[in-house]
Structure 1
Amino acid sequence: MVLLTLISFLFTAILYTAWKRYIKSGPVYKNRTSFAGKTVIITGGSSGLGKECAIALAKCDARVIIASRNINKGKNAMIEIRAITGSENIHFMKLDLSELDNVREFVDNFNKQESRLDILINCAGIISSERSKDGKRGLMFTCNVLGPFLLTNLLLPVLRKTGKISPVRIINVASDAYLVKDIDLLRLDPCFSRGMSSLSVLGHYAATKLMIIYINAELNRVLSGDSAVTTYALHPGTVESNLGENFVQNNRILRLLRYLVMKLLARSPFYCSQTVLYCCSEPGIEKYSGGYFSELRQTRLFPHAEKIGIGRKLWEELERMLQNG
């Protein structure tokens, strides 16, 4: 009996140690380059993963622009990060990716205030079944895909200008959720309604992450003549955050599932920020521009994320949407 108890205890201890080390934790990026004199934009930088990245880059002396739609939250994050890092070079600019006119206004204001942009981190993302304020599109599609697509393209001139001085990187935060859903080019933005199932909404969230991966690869093709500007998509890990919290609020089963995922599988923003920092800093990864990264290394994509021609068709469709308002 004593022996059986001892074996059970050891087995439980081994499982717990493995869970803490390989599930709840992860590799830590050690090579922190100085970013003195460099400017970084982080969308969604007021909380969670984006905020953790802002803290890390501020510690490396970067000029960090926190881009967030919530003014109070953004300013409070700016004050907090200044206190944590001792850097006064942290700034807030309002950016609502769900309002395309606000994206254009943000870029206009940025170009008036700043002369360079060394790193753009497209980090913001949501899960939602709502529609945008103008009622034209799904809020999730606009925030996760169309808004960042417009932002990146509008910032390309200043990114290319900076690239003539020093290397520039564009970081697109995707997710391994891309595995569960393919892209329907004829229905990029489903018309959400109260009757749409929660699983359909979650499936579309996964599709937006796959779109980010394709856009990243196509952006690399667009930039192929400019080796000073490189682009990377990545899976940060499952982040302990408020993502999807409002979406599952009225569904008991989904609320329980989300709780279990957060408690059992999610990592703190610190560990999830490490691959972002790797893509910002690691020397020599320029040759992998357009690639997908996870756990501080390039990762091979599954075949449905590498179909020939899909990236270009998606890019053209997004451009058409923007032209049509």
Structure 2
Amino acid sequence: MRVAVDAMGGDKAPHEIVKGAVLAAQQFQDSEILLVGDEKVIQQELESCQAIPKNITTHHASQVVSMDDPATYSIRQKTNSSITRSVELVAKGEATAVVSAGHTGAAVAAATLHLRTLKGVRRPGIAAPFPTRSGNCLIIDVGANIACKPIHLFQYGVMSTIFSKYISRVQYPRVGLLNIGEEDAKGNDLAKETFALFSNSQLTFVGNVEGREIFDGKADIVVCEGFVGNVMLKFAEGLATGLLSTIKAEAMKGFWSKLGLFLCKPAFAPLKAKMDFTEYGGAPLLGVNGVCIICHGRSDSKAIYNAIKVALQLSKNKVNDHIVAELEKANVPAASVM
């Protein structure tokens, strides 16, 4: 299997991206890592490594999509960008997966345009893991689609259920619908209509889930529209960072509090690791006809390594084939598709 890695995308590109790709190539020697971007720059980064794995190759792309570029502009005007070329390699069958820490909107647009969606899929969705008391909760969508219909949210539930079964190894994933209250009648028309679709499906639906219940582990999957999911994702990230920083700052104000912090360090270490996005690598864009992993913009080599690992798992487990088969079995009223 070949994984195309956008070497120029991300705040720490290309150094950390190339470093992570090298780590992955060393670990997964039966796969090939294809670094896409400015070949001269990539080669310089590779030469700084102690040894270049034989299963790493390069593919030249002269342009880079910046974070300030509008997604549609980047796809239409920067046709030779590293993210577009990476996705095109998957579309042409020259790679099985793409990994990028660059412009999320551009990655989604390129994947949707060049890979298209899987049979039966209306809109793709980004599924991101959230740490909970008992493990992780998959939130979908966190930014791919901000104008959702009930059928889109329902399909997110189906696709993320397949992901959880084959990648997270959760045999019967519990699906919840993000809402302002637990009662069936709560929420806007979108929430109510989606609730009805889930209730009449074969999925393990646990009903509405309030924001505070995500961290309690009420559901293994929580479905929402992309605008809400993206805001929630960034708020949670900021809250976690802020809390840890505040605890550390307060503890450093006195000797006894410093000592207490030192003694609690073994307890804080697992917590910090649980909230570290680099542990999860990236978020899969479920629903496109190929494997696409979207990483955090601040991804380092560890995150890139783990993202490539997830990309290979998705390919090996044929997750897309299972999604298509599951959607064909789903009984969705025609009115909900409109």
TM-score, normalization: structure 2?
0.34
More strand by share: 2
